Structures are given as structure tokens and as C-alpha cells.
Amino acid sequence: MTKTNTLFKTLDANTTVLTPNRRLSATLHKRYQQYQLEQQQWCWQTPDILPVSSWIQRLYNDYTSQQFALAPLLLNAAQEQFLWEKIVLHAKESEQLLQVSETADIAKSAWNLLKQWNIDINQSLFHCAEDYATFLRWATAFEKQCQENNWVDVATLPTMLLAKIKQGHIALSKHIVLIGFTEHSPQLRELLKQCEQSGCSINIIDTLSNDETLLNRRLSLLDAEKEMLTIARFAKSTLEKNKTATIGCVIPSLEKVRDRAMQIFSDVLGDDNLFNISAGKNLARYPLINTALQLLGLHKKTIALEPLHYLLASPFLGEAEAERIKRCLFDGTLRQANVTHLDLRDSALLTKHCPHLARRLRQFFARLDEQKNALTYTEWANLFNELLSTLGWPGERSLSSEEYQVVESWLKLLADFTSFDQMAAPTSLQQALYTLQKMAAKTIFQAQTPEAPIQVLGILEAAALPFDYLWIAGMDDASWPPQPKPNPFIPKRLQRELNMPHATPERELMFCQLLLAQFKQSANTLIFSHAEKNGELDLQASPLIRHVPSIHPDELNLDVYLTPSERLYQTKCIETLVDDIAPVVDANENIRGGVNILKQQALCPFKAFAECRLHAHELESPLPGLRSKDRGNIIHKVMELLWNKLDNQAALIALSREQQNKLLDEVIDLALTSTIHSRSDYTQYLSLEKQRLHQLISEWLEGEKERPPFHVLTSEKAAQIKLGQLTLSIRIDRIDALDDGKKLIIDYKTGKNNDINSWFSERPEEPQLPLYSLVDEQNTVGISFAQVASGEHCFKGISRYSLDIKGVKLLSEIKKATVVSWPEQLIQWKSALEKLSADFYQGMAKVDPSDADQTCLWCALKPLCRINEEGPA
């Protein structure tokens, strides 16, 4: 008969079984059910098996339910945290603290340790250092507040109950069995001793397995990632061989790598119902709750664009489905305009783009504006609920099972929030919201999932749990046993003398040895593993497992692991479909791009098709200040305004330095105010930008003065040009009339890498100037970039004959040019550009970048064109 069955046989209504955690209680209940079924029983009394923390709470409930006198109020976890934070925040030391909440956490954990180890706080050791003395003041304040208000905290409760048991106020079970405890705190020991003295028998069982492990092995793997992957593969392969096996996968610090572990196990097993991960995430990290908190945060006057983008895309708002496209487009509009903050109370813009959202926000602000005074926490909780439902939270679509549980957890959080009324006065909106956010960030939530054969656990949760197979990872010499970590608020000497948790290396060693002994009795097959490297650090097996026979990972005989994409690829049945021709451009089609169409067609036909016909663009990210394209537009505007005033070079040369400066200031001011960036919150920034522009253009104009005489015929002239079937809208930056009346066409560039060689390939990647040269073939004698870039001002162009402008070369000097005469070059450009135009018009949309490395490098269309998936057929 197994140890478990022996235990189950003795269970009756007078026996209570206590476990260190909920998971072991649940396992015992499940095993008891199997045991009864094996005994051919069809109904039975549920055994009294529960975690020790629940038992203590039950003793308290039993006691209070029988008392006529006012029993002390048991603080819940949120109330305790609230009280500690309040004490730390109002302490004189708080001015020097950067992280009040985290400090309160450590103080709370020090208080719990003091209680569990029955330490009298009023001893001289607490006066020997400033930190201890500070904690002593906080702990005294905590104790005083509890006494004055008739509160009791969870850590003090066992001591209180002990006295009540002694006085005979609490009825106990006749038998108490403790299972799976690695150790008992002095406080628990005393409580159990008192139970014994009150007539209760106590029985302690270390583990439920009978024998030592049958197979015990250790192995090393390259790093922690490889280790996790191998565990998942082992679990899969074991389960395939033995469908009823129970498999425990222990990953120390699981809470830190939870998401990655989830991903690896999900990838390897291919079925999320086969495994269960014990670690949860804090509630605020769940999108539903994050959205709720962000929505409540809208009470501020403006919202930064980042959270607004998040809300516009969130499905957890009213009409999120119905208004989805409008919200996406509004998002795109704001990004394009580089707006960094939006005033949501000024709803005209929002009403225009997203009328439903605007209506809900109006109602939200109207309700919020009614609320000026401080409210109790219960009133705030009600108002928060009302505000969220005004905004349509949690959205229109049906919630998944996990989301449903998250909402339930949120409601529980709000219920805990209302309990602060028992300990705090009415408060402001900001304080109430801050408290709620903190609570959500500290509440760990894990959705309940169906029973699974593979359990992924943290190390303490796994202690004493019975498995068929158990794999313990992270057993390297740097982590096991871990470094001691005494609590900073309890005198170290005290912790050492009392052998408190994490106090000394010896204490850590002893605890690890106890855990290992438990693990050895928990499974038939036990595997320890460790990583060989952690970054640069070389690791070896922990001395505590070096006696275990080692094996090579290959001896596990695991199937070769394939990533999900490799698995998919393996099941391929390739049908080749050449699909690089789109429909011919329709006369009514909305094509965007002007001359940019030719540029994109030259770079990559698919890019031109996607951007100019499908209007597929990368979403822009708002940046503070001016983006480089804004700077480029401003330069164009300044130049246009400047030459509209000056008209020719002679007028420029005739200006005195003061006159030129004055003129420049005028046109720069005008250019800036005519852009969206002339915003009042950028005043200081724009004044610096003005200085920069003034300097930049002053330097540029010195070069203009040295050129042979010219006058500016047009600036930023819009025109249309017909090229094959396409009629393209163009805007020529500038056309100069030279002394002989001929024309030089200029294109401003604010970047530095302008290469005229790109004009001479079959697919000219900078086709603007070659195209503009065809507008007036007879009179155009040169085309040139005007590179307005600090320290590298120059012209880069070509001409029919020498124009005596530095940087503008003769066609014959260009090595890449295949013809020498200007008319021939114009014919060549015309033919190349007409081909690009015809290809685009005919729907030529081949994934064919002109230079796969360079052209694709910054292109955002990779998920659409799937060039990275292109392989040999």
C-alpha cells in the first residue's frame, strides 16, 4: 500500500490535513478522488485538506463567529500594504526614499519574519544601526495603529489564535496531519504545540512518495534558453511514450521568465492544454486591465500620443469594432502630423474622425467634472466602474475565458480597494487612482486552466509534489545554493543567531539540502540540469548535485526539435504560382505618389504597387520636435519665399549683410509659421531652429553669390507631365534662367548622400530631375541637386555644356553615362522613364528590389512582399 493510500485510509471527519501551499492541497484532493473510485466508492465525504494559511484563516473565522465581543478586524493583503505604505510615506525618512512602495514591501516582509520567528522588537540590537532603528519606528507605528483600531495582521494572527486556543475559545479537529513542509517557523511550531496541548494529535509526513528516486541523472546544456527548450522536448517525448505520466518541470525564478517559458512550451508541445504554468503576471500587465487603468487616467487634460495610440487600437472600448477603421485612420493622421499630445476635451478633431469615441469621452468628462470633492474609496470604486462603462469597457466582443477571469479579478481588486474606507479618510481622484494602479501592479493573476499532465513550476511550489518524472533546472554552482539575502531591516546578528531564512550561506545550504531530499522522494525519475554559460560567465554543476551520475543530452534520445515555422515548412506541398502582375491601372483608380511612382517602380516594382496603388505605408512614430522630413519641407519653403522676394542673383549680391539677415529672418519666420510646427509649446526649440536655419542658409547663399549670374524663373512650380499612359503631378523645386536664357533645373536636398550616378542606370532610382529635364527639352541645359547640408554645401549635377558651376559636370565626364551627347541622354531617360511608367500602368508588381541589401534595408513592406521567405524553389 502506498504512503498516500495509508493516509487516505485514515482520513475521517476528525482529521485535518495541512499543506504548505494550495497546489499540494489540490493534488491531494485529486488523488483522494482517484483512491475512492479505486475503492468502488461513488460518493464520499470531502476530506478536510487545505493549505496552512487557509486553516489559520478558518480558525479566525470560527473564533469571530462565536464571539459576542467585537473581534479584531483581520487586515487583507491590500490593507496591510496600504498601511505600511502610509507609515513609510509619512515617516520623516521618506524624503530620502526614492521607492516608497518597494521600501514598504521590505518593511512588511521584515515584520512578517519577526512574527514568524517570535522576535521581540523591543531589544537593543534594533538600536545599533540607523536602518534597524528606522524599521523599529515603523513597526511600532504599525503595531500601535493595529492596537488602537482593533486590527490584526496575517503575520500576528497565529500568535493571537494560539492564545485563544489556550483559553479554549477555538474548537480543533482531533487529528492534524502536516504534509510536504520543508520547514516550520517557530511561530507555527508553537501554534501546533498548543493544539497538541489542547488535545489534538499532530502527525508530520515529509513527502507522499514511498521510496527514493529510481532514476537520478544530471546534465548540462549550453545556456538557460537551451535548457528550457530541452525540458519542454523531454516533457513532450515522455508524454508521447506514457500518456498517463505526470511530469514536473521546475524552473527557478519562473516568474521572471514566465512569458518565454510559455512560448517555448507552447511551441514545442503544440497544444496549450498539455501544460500548465504556475507563475502569473501582475494584473496591470493584462491588456484588459491596462486599458481600464489608461482610461481612468484620461482625467488629465491632455494625453500623450503613445497611450492614445494604444487606446485607439484597443478592443476593450465601446464601438471598438464598429469604429475600428476610423480609429486606425485617425491614428495614422496624428502620426503623420507628428502631434505628440492631444487635448481630449477639445473634441472637434475627435468628433470629426471618431464620432462614437468622442461622444463617449464627452460623457466621461461631463461625469468626471461633476466630481470635485474628495470621496471615500467605495465611492471612487463606484465612480470608476461608472466611468469605465461610460467608455464602453470592456468592449463589444465576447470575452475569452481568460479575459472573463481577468475581469472577475478586477472586480475583486475593486472590492479590496473599498476596504480602505476602514482605515483611511476620503481622498482625491489622483490619490485614489494612484492607489488602484499600485494595487493592480502588485496583484499577481493567473487564469485557471484545465488539469494538465505537464506542470511548469517554481522551485518552492514543486517541493513535495508527487510526479512520475521531475526535471529541476538551474542547478548551477552560481545559483544553487543561492547567495544569502538577509532582510536589511532586521539586525544581521539576530538573523544569524536565529538561523532565519536567507540569513547565512549555511542556512541557504541547509535549506537547499532539505529541498533536494524532498525532490529525491517526489518522483520515480529525477533529472537535474544546469546551463554551462550565463552571458560571459562559465557555470558548472552545483556541488549539491555533483554526486548524481551525469549524462549527455543525446542520451535522452529526444526527437529533433523543429520550430513551428520549420514544422509548417516540412509539411509543405509547394504549388508555384507566379503572381507578379497586378490589374492594369483603372481610369478611376486613386493613385498616389506623382513622380514618386517612378522612383518606387525603379527601386522595386512591388513597392510601387503596394505604396502607390494599395496605399500601404509604414506607420510613422511621432517624435518630439521636427522630423528630418519636416526640416526638408521648411528648407524648401524658406528657399521659395527667399527667391520669390529676390528674383535674381544680382539682388542677392546687392544686399548688405544686415539686409540679408533681416530678409532671412523674415522668410524663416514665415516658413515656420506656415507649418504645423509653429506650436507654442515648441517656442524655445523653434527659436534655436531659426538660428540653425539662418546659419545654414547664409552659408548656402555665399555659394549662390559665386555662381555666374542667374535669375530664378520658378520656385516650387506645380505642373503635370504625361508619360506614357500616366499623367504625373510634379513640383519642380526651382528653375534658374542662366545668362544665355537657358534653364538649369534644381532639386534641393538636405541629406548628404546624393549620387548622380543613379540617373544612369536602366532603372533610375532618383528619376525626378531626369523627368523634369523632359518638360522643356529645348531649353534645359542642366539638372542639379542643390545639397543644402551644413559643412557640405554643394551642387551635384550635369550639364549639356560647361555652366561654370562647381559640382555641375559635363555629361562626358560621367563614367556611368553610356552616351556623350545631351540629346541622346534625353532620349535614353525618356525611354527608361516611359518603361517604368508603362510597367507601373500595366501592373508590373514583381518583388524585384534594385539592390536587395540597400533597397530592402529600411523598407517596411517585408511582411507584405515576404522577400525573406523567398527561397530556392
Burial (Cβ within 10 Å: 0-12, 13-18, ≥19) of residue 700: buried
Least gap, CB of 592 to ligand SF4 (angstroms):
16
Comparison of 689 and 765: residue with beta carbon closer to ligand SF4: 765
Comparison of 556 and 864: residue with beta carbon closer to ligand SF4: 864
Comparison of 237 and 855: residue with beta carbon closer to ligand SF4: 855
Q: How far is the first Cα of the chain from the last one, in angstroms, to the nearest whole number? A: 63
Is there binding between residue 867 and ligand SF4 (CB under 6 A)? yes
Is there binding between residue 865 and ligand SF4 (CB under 6 A)? yes
Q: What is the dihedral of CA 568, 569, 575, 579, to 10 degrees?
A: 90
- Scanning residues 83 to 102, which ones bind ligand SF4 (CB under 6 A)? none
Least gap, CB of 365 to ligand SF4 (angstroms):
44
Is there binding between residue 599 and ligand SF4 (CB under 6 A)? no
CA angle 479, 484, 486 (to 5 degrees): 145
Is there binding between residue 189 and ligand SF4 (CB under 6 A)? no
Helix (H) or strand (E) holding 151: strand 151-152
- Scanning residues 605 to 634, which ones bind ligand SF4 (CB under 6 A)? 606-607
Q: Which runs of consecutive H residues, i.e. helices, occur in 498-603? A: 505-520, 564-570, 596-603
Q: What length does the chain have?
A: 873
Least gap, CB of 771 to ligand SF4 (angstroms):
21
User: How is residue 287 annotated by DSSP?
Assistant: H
Among 678, 727, 862, 863, the residue binding ligand SF4 under the rule CB under 6 A is 862
Comparison of 42 and 858: residue with beta carbon closer to ligand SF4: 858
Q: At what angle do helices 377-390 and 355-369 cross, to 10 degrees?
A: 160
Is there binding between residue 836 and ligand SF4 (CB under 6 A)? no
- Cβ-based neighbours of 723, under 8 Å, separated by 6 or more: 598, 771, 833, 834, 837
Among 836, 849, 854, 873, the residue binding ligand SF4 under the rule CB under 6 A is 849
How big is the site for ligand SF4, counted in residues (CB under 6 A)?
12
- Cβ-based neighbours of 198, under 8 Å, separated by 6 or more: 165, 166, 168, 172
Is there binding between residue 596 and ligand SF4 (CB under 6 A)? no
- Rounded Cα distance, 480 and 705, in Å: 76
Comparison of 249 and 856: residue with beta carbon closer to ligand SF4: 856
Omega of the bond prior to 394 within 30 degrees of 0, cis? yes
Least gap, CB of 852 to ligand SF4 (angstroms):
7
- Scanning residues 263 to 292, which ones bind ligand SF4 (CB under 6 A)? none
Helix (H) or strand (E) holding 628: helix 628-646
Is there binding between residue 845 and ligand SF4 (CB under 6 A)? no
Least gap, CB of 601 to ligand SF4 (angstroms):
11
- Choose among 594, 527, 565: nearest CA to 837: 594
Q: What is the DSSP string of 64-105?
A: HHT-SS-PPEEPPHHHHHHHHHHHHHHSGGGGG-S-HHHHHH
Phi, psi of 82 (to 5 degrees): -60, -45
Comparison of 604 and 788: residue with beta carbon closer to ligand SF4: 604
- Scanning residues 768 to 827, which ones bind ligand SF4 (CB under 6 A)? none
Q: What is the DSSP string of 758-805?
A: GGGSSS-SS-HHHHHTTTTTTTEEEEEEEE--TT--EEEEEESS----
Comparison of 795 and 840: residue with beta carbon closer to ligand SF4: 840
Comparison of 806 and 862: residue with beta carbon closer to ligand SF4: 862
Comparison of 469 and 609: residue with beta carbon closer to ligand SF4: 609
Is there binding between residue 856 and ligand SF4 (CB under 6 A)? yes
Stretch that binds ligand SF4, among 289-297, 440-448, 485-493, 848-856 (CB under 6 A): 848-856
- Choose among 658, 569, 465, 546: nearest CA to 19: 465
Among 11, 861, 863, 872, the residue binding ligand SF4 under the rule CB under 6 A is 861
- Scanning residues 309 to 338, which ones bind ligand SF4 (CB under 6 A)? none
65 Ramachandran zone, left/alpha/beta (phi>0; psi -120 to 50): alpha
Least gap, CB of 612 to ligand SF4 (angstroms):
12
Comparison of 668 and 861: residue with beta carbon closer to ligand SF4: 861
Is there binding between residue 604 and ligand SF4 (CB under 6 A)? yes
Least gap, CB of 844 to ligand SF4 (angstroms):
13
Phi, psi of 203 (to 5 degrees): -125, 135
The separation between CA 733 and the C-alpha centre of its own chain, rounded to angstroms, equals: 43
Least gap, CB of 621 to ligand SF4 (angstroms):
19
Comparison of 179 and 861: residue with beta carbon closer to ligand SF4: 861
Residues of this chain that interact with ligand SF4 (CB under 6 A) are 604, 606-607, 847, 849, 855-856, 859, 861-862, 865, 867
